[in-house]
Amino acid sequence: MNSLLDQFVSECRDLIETSSRALLALETDTENPAQINELFRAIHTIKGASGLFDFKPLTSCVHAGEDLLDAVRAGDVAFNSGIADLLLEMLDRLVEWLDSIEDSETLPSDAQEISAALSTRLRDYISDGAGVNDADDTSQQTEVAAPWPDDIPVLEGAETGLSLITYTPGETTFFAGGDPLRTVLAAPGLLWMQVVQPDDWPDVDQLDPFMLKIGFRLVSSATVPDLEKHFSYDIDDVSIERIAATDGPSAIEQLADDILQSQAALLATPQTGVAAENIQKSAADVVARVGRNLNVSDDAVGDLDATIADVRGEPAGNDPAPVDKPQVAEPEKQPAAAPAKQRSSGYLRVDSDRIDALMNLAGELIVAKNAMPFLARKAENIEDGRELVREIKMQHNTINRIAEELQAAIMQIRMVPVGSVLSRFNRLVRDMSRKLGKDIRYVVDGEDTEADKAIVDELSDPIVHLIRNSIDHGIEDPTERAEADKPKQGTIRVSAFNKDDSVVIEITDDGKGIAVDKVVKKALERGLIDAERVNAMSANEKLQLIFLPGLSTKEEVSDLSGRGVGMDVVASMVRRLGGQISIDSEPGLGARVTLSLPLSMAVQQLMMVEVGDGLYGVPVDSVVESQKISPVSIRRHRDAEMVLLRDRLIPLVRMRDLFQCDAQDDPETLSVMVVDVNGHESGLVVDRFHPGVDAIVKPMSGVLANYDCYSGTALLGDGSILLALNLREIVECQYH
């Protein structure tokens, strides 16, 4: 696809997004002029840009939308939900067409038909709304006249210029003895003719065959005066427009003529002060440029000057500019050696693949840098190697700093506001709540909160499910809400904010909340948990059971949220992104789901631990502390082992058991790494602690992707591979 078309598609998609947002805002605040303007401008821009390509059905349908919005803007038509629906339908269609353009550079074959139908429906609103002042018939005519030269076939005679005639005889023409068809066919220089049907054909039983409903469009090679003479009896019903020849040597002369006439028109406008002076100088400059570039003699330019002076009501030959420069103003002097400073815009649109490539390189640099401590250690063994060790360490520090800055700079490029994703769901809430007969307001807070593009792109799916759940299961019917003494309109609020090194997204609704006992009952029924464990849980812990795979509290499957998208699916999506999910609910008052996601999926700091013969990475963020404990301090409760650390009872996970290695033979001390998973601390019993390392953790693919115990792999400086642990799974494994 060529780059202009590419640009068009991407810009249109942005504008469609803007338009939908404005449309939805307008539904709650129908007379907000800022929103109407924004909407109008977006649609206007789409129309303008589409004119650069041969997508006539798209252009004409958007044009109809623009006209409707113009009428809304002018106050001729009142905005209502019907208009909103229709415009949204148009936007949906545009999205479809853009997809097709992206795939095949053409519109679908039915586009013409659909566009015509949509345009008619859009224009119906204009005529309905403006019914009162429909007497303004001429504007209607010019509206139709503007786009129609596009339908004309290539005609002979085009090199000398053509006249376009729109002829709309009055309804009573036949009674006045007129014969429009004969008049048309006898028009001088007739090249092409088309019958124009009115938009508002009456029904057949109301049709009066004696009333003339149709009009004509003609193309003629004759000049305007000749045509005016021919149509002199019907001149009020005729509009004639001259179009210049499309190319050939006369085109530039025609343009020169147009430009010179423009200068006359410009100088004829009332102007004052500095502007008046500047305008005169610029017009004089334009005249001089045109004169020089057309290679006409100074006399001719003099004549033009005279014409201009004439228009201004000044005696010819007088200086048109009342300043000290007597002659035509000189064009602004070019700075002799202007440096080639050509920054065209402050922004750069870059393919995200290129940034990803840069990011991967930075990642490799960071990994490569990790090799330096290994080198330093090697150097220590060399005789007199101390100086070398010192130098390597210094270099390591420098490279470390640069690599970190480089990485931070690239991350900054990748940061995008989450708002673009969040505001997208306006439409979803609207459509779905309508379908369910609910009244729901969608509010977004903290749209400006930024996160890595990769995270933001992946956010959409889990949030869609959560919002759907809120609409479907959370918010009650208006009647139910009224009975519960709640405002009729429910609210779903999505708030985004930064907390430490993560971005937090809360989805809150003021619906009926979640019944903990139902969740527990389901979990027990399905055998997902045993009664004893449940009894030991706090109310909030019980609520988190909703994330267990296979648990859905809704009795029947709804066609909207469906059974496939249980909370467990959402939870696993979030965890795949390295995030955490939790839920709060106050029965009767609503529920809140909190997603906490890393700002970036890129480099992670990992603590390394050794278990058996393997090295494993634990995200530093999750590590609370590392402790050596004596085996005798371990307390046992049934199968579970625990240790008391500073008044906290911490359950232990024996990593050797988990990885099915032989147990260590009676060590004197145990190494315990205390980690925090979703606010719960657990102690991982490992063989040994190792230093921390910066690594790019890449998710595992293929067969290995099924090993939930690992979040991914990372390459170490010495070329070995580190498995990063998925703590959540490991802690849960222990329970099951």
Partner 1 sequence: MTGHPFKALIVDDATTVRMYHRSLVEEAGWATVEAENGVEAMEKVLDQPVDLMFVDVNMPIMDGYAFIKTARASEKVGQIPIVMISTEAQKIDRDKAFEAGANHYLVKPASPQDIANLLTLLSPEDPS
| Residues in contact with partner 1 by the rule CB under 8 A | 3-4, 7-8, 11-12, 41, 44-45, 47-49, 51-52, 142, 146, 246-247, 251-252, 255-256, 258-259, 262-263, 265-266, 268-269, 271, 273-275, 277-279, 281-283, 285-286, 289-290, 292-294, 329-338, 341-342, 344-345
Nearest residue (CB) to partner 1, 194 versus 246: 246
User: What is residue 447's DSSP assignment?
Assistant: T
- 594 touches 504 (CB < 8 A): yes
- The least distance separating partner 1 from the CB of residue 29, rounded to whole angstroms, comes to 19
* Residue carrying structure tokens 């006898």: 186
Q: Dihedrals φ, ψ of 393, to 5°?
A: -65, -40
Nearest residue (CB) to partner 1, 395 versus 420: 420
DSSP assignments along 112-140, one per residue = HHHHHHHHHHHHHHHHHHTGGGTT-HHHH
Q: What is the C-alpha to C-alpha distance for residues 545 and 526, in angstroms, rounded to an integer? A: 12
Q: What is the C-alpha to C-alpha distance for residues 343 and 180, in angstroms, rounded to an integer? A: 59
Nearest residue (CB) to partner 1, 323 versus 443: 323
- The least distance separating partner 1 from the CB of residue 96, rounded to whole angstroms, comes to 19
- The least distance separating partner 1 from the CB of residue 130, rounded to whole angstroms, comes to 18
The 10 Å CB-count burial string (b at 16+, else e) for 370-406 is bebbebbeebeeeeeeeeebeebeeebeeeeeebbeb
- The least distance separating partner 1 from the CB of residue 239, rounded to whole angstroms, comes to 11
- The least distance separating partner 1 from the CB of residue 327, rounded to whole angstroms, comes to 13
Nearest residue (CB) to partner 1, 46 versus 410: 46
Q: What is the C-alpha to C-alpha distance for residues 393 and 389, in angstroms, rounded to an integer? A: 6
- The least distance separating partner 1 from the CB of residue 283, rounded to whole angstroms, comes to 6
Q: What is the C-alpha to C-alpha distance for residues 425 and 433, in angstroms, rounded to an integer? A: 12
- The least distance separating partner 1 from the CB of residue 346, rounded to whole angstroms, comes to 9
Nearest residue (CB) to partner 1, 74 versus 274: 274
The 10 Å CB-count burial string (b at 16+, else e) for 515-553 is ebeebbebbeeeeebeeeeeeeeeeeebbbbbbbeebbe
User: What is the arrangement of strands in the sheet containing 680-686, beginning at the earlier edge strand?
Assistant: 623-629, 670-677, 680-686, 648-654, 640-645, 634-637
Burial grade of 557 (CB within 10 A; 0-12, 13-18, 19 or more): exposed
- The least distance separating partner 1 from the CB of residue 143, rounded to whole angstroms, comes to 9
Nearest residue (CB) to partner 1, 82 versus 149: 149
Nearest residue (CB) to partner 1, 227 versus 286: 286
- The least distance separating partner 1 from the CB of residue 290, rounded to whole angstroms, comes to 5
Side chain identity, residue 503: V
- The least distance separating partner 1 from the CB of residue 314, rounded to whole angstroms, comes to 18
β 190-196/238-243 pair status: unpaired
Nearest residue (CB) to partner 1, 153 versus 209: 153
Nearest residue (CB) to partner 1, 164 versus 227: 164
* Residue carrying structure tokens 């427009």: 241
- 625 touches 643 (CB < 8 A): no
Nearest residue (CB) to partner 1, 337 versus 663: 337
Q: What is the C-alpha to C-alpha distance for residues 559 and 536, in angstroms, rounded to an integer? A: 37
